[in-house]
Chain A
Amino acid sequence: DTAVSQTPKYLVTQMGNDKSIKCEQNLGHDTMYWYKQDSKKFLKIMFSYNNKELIINETVPNRFSPKSPDKAHLNLHINSLELGDSAVYFCASSQDPGSNQPQHFGDGTRLSIL
């Protein structure tokens, strides 16, 4: 009964490929997020969706395209993967963007670009 689940857990692929990471939450939250944790463990927000609508879009290359088919899912598609995309990507969810309730994180997807 994992609250926020991401697939796959590990992803190893070659430069130039296109890949997707999926995220699902069963908490009934309205808001979902994608964060990137780089090799130095620095954690930074990439995107946020509230009820399927994009509300946060940080300075992220347009090779990254989030998609939210419904409020329980937020997928991340990455085109033309580059070496610098190697990182751990964390999905998170919260009740709504204005809530003071904490965000719940998934286990992370470790992306390695060869």
Chain B
Amino acid sequence: EPEVTQTPSHQVTQMGQEVILRCVPISNHLYFYWYRQILGQKVEFLVSFYNNEISEKSEIFDDQFSVERPDGSNFTLKIRSTKLEDSAMYFCASLWLTDTQYFGPGTRLTVL
């Protein structure tokens, strides 16, 4: 069964450094998402992406964040200058048309 994959599973970085989280959505899916979950808190929507552009973003998704689909398979989330409060699990999800969103296993980001 096809699935969403994410790399790395755990990323440790220093405050102020740039990080790139990578996702490979299910092939033939058209909509892509990033969510995050701070330890002990709710899963929060960050951004949705369709047809090579952002379709919606939350207040969390400020100028420090960007997303890209550099080729036909990867979908990336970049945080330009990480803060302590960016420490969280980051989940990628993808969707075909009117199906359901399928989530990846997540990347645990730890900012020191």
Chain B associates with chain A: no
